[in-house]
Chains A and B, each alone.
Chain A
Amino acid sequence: MSEIILAIESSCDETACSIIKDGKEICSNVVSSQINVHKKYGGVVPEVASRIHVENISVVIDEALKTAGITMNDVDAIAFTQGPGLIGSLHVGVQAAKTLAWAFNKPLVPLHHIIGHIYANGFVDELVFPLLALVVSGGHTELVYMKDEWSFDILGTTQDDAIGEAYDKVARVLGLPYPGGPAIDKLAKEGKAHYILPTPKTEKELDFSFSGLKSAVLQLIQREEKKGETIVPADLAYCFQETALDTLVNKTEKAVHEFKPKQVVLAGGVAANSRLREKMTETIGAIEGVHLTIPPLWCCTDNAAMMGAAGSVAYRHKLFGALDCSANPCKEIDC
């Protein structure tokens, strides 16, 4: 069986379209990133993001088809990110997907954004089930257990901020530019274990919480200032990063011991963090009987290829949507 999926992703600040053959082969992967615009604004401004999506959507689709060297007639289904994400941004991708489905009489495959992040790993490694995914990004911090290829159990999720949000907020406090993740990661390399921050606590063992950590950073700065001490930004970045990432890795390790997956994958924007990759390799990579996949940098950020990979599986499971479906900013993973 062979299928060609045209996938559209617009949940946050990337307008993207990709053509994927048989779930694995990337015929084209066009991403129009808004990162430079949002840098100016110090973060993603939803209305501005939506405006750029509508500006870029048709050219991105056009380019994806041209680069793949196919026409809409060759496409078997239209996959798209239905949610979660920014409502105004999602709307643009959803309408574009419905337009193609209607105009060319193709089935519509609505998808959960996170499932795309998990399936991005399929481009670099064979996915084996049961699988455990640590999904970390500006909008997500989740441990997802998949007993087979289209089954999703959320073992743990954040009770407040996503890990990426925590990075952005702490970066702002330290006077670092947006996005905060790469900036803190870089600065932390020059830092040492000089400060101590409390380990975040959650009611359920596999859940996450980062707002307390952010407040602790603020309190630490105030305390030091009262003492007349100047903060060493690199040391604070180091300390924040170690504390935040240790919770991620420790909880993943706990979940591995409890649920015994054959494979662990890392997914989402924060998967690009060099220290997280090191820590995952050291800890999870050392567990016997578990295969760890660290995705390459290109599939950590949002793109439509990953939605196409997930879309292929959903297409084979005939998980089609109707033309009256809409964006769902709070979409839950269900199957």
Chain B
Amino acid sequence: MITLCMDTSHKHLTLALIQDDQLIKKSMTECFKQQSETIFPELVKLCEEAKIKPDDIQEVVVTTGPGSYTGVRIAMTIAKVLCATKNIPCYALNTLQLYSGNHAKCCVLLDARSKRAYFAKYNHGEVVQEPGVFTIDEIQNFIKPDEEILGDGSLLGKEDNYVDLAESFLSLKPYWEKVENIHCLVPEYLKSSEEYLVK
């Protein structure tokens, strides 16, 4: 069983190939806003190195956000079209959960621009605080001294701290959520379309 994992929802482009609970190839590049051009050349390279063909891919895992709206849509479009036309299963994983990397007692924050961030808390992949979008000040108050900060730590004046996202896909396998109807898969924006109505 070969699984293709993809995340384009933040500033990294992460691709991983998993074969029977083993990470066989991975590619992590920092390419904010370049994912559209970069993803297929990277994917081709990855498959060549792993000596597999597109037909060998039997399932797909994709992150659903929250993150960059355009970014999330890139991997998700690929996952939807690939799984629908190849008739293979698709699994979804929350982006913040991926960035939590199965760590114990951790806070994950990712830049949501305008001094806000996407934020959630996890303990070994399990949700402790549901993903939401908050101001940086709000987030400061959420964090307890014994919690690890992952993701865009620089927003809080700390170091950015990114886990190995390819490894993270594998270690979070229990949290992959089966997509029942591939056509209904949509990103989690945490901002509804209604908010774009001019009042």
> Residues of A with Cβ closer than 8 Å to B?
40-42, 45, 47-48, 50-51, 53-55, 57-59, 61-62, 65, 72, 87-88, 91-92, 94-96, 98-100, 102-105, 323-327
Contact = CB atoms under 8 A, between A and B. Distances in A.
B81 interface: yes
B77 interface: yes
**Residue of B39, B70, B85, B86 ringed by the most chain A CB atoms within 10 A:** B85
Contacts of B182: 58
B1 to A, nearest CB: 18
Contacts of A61: 81, 84-85
Q: Which 6 A-B pairs have the closest CB atoms?
A: A323-B40, A58-B80, A58-B84, A95-B77, A59-B183, A99-B81
Interface in B65-79: 69-70, 73-74, 76-78
A45 B70 CA distance: 14
Given A61-B84, A62-B183, A323 B41 contact: yes
B181 to A, nearest CB: 9
A99 B78 contact: yes
Interface string B182-199: 110011010001001110
Given A41-B198, A54-B77, A55-B186, A103 B82 contact: yes
B45 to A, nearest CB: 11
Contacts of A102: 40, 43-44, 54
B54 A103 contact: yes
Contacts of B86: 103
Interface string B90-129: 0000000000000000000000000000000000000000
Nearest to B185: A58
17 contacts: A45-B196, A54-B73, A55-B186, A57-B80, A58-B183, A61-B81, A61-B85, A62-B183, A91-B77, A96-B77, A98-B78, A99-B77, A100-B81, A102-B54, A103-B85, A323-B41, A324-B40
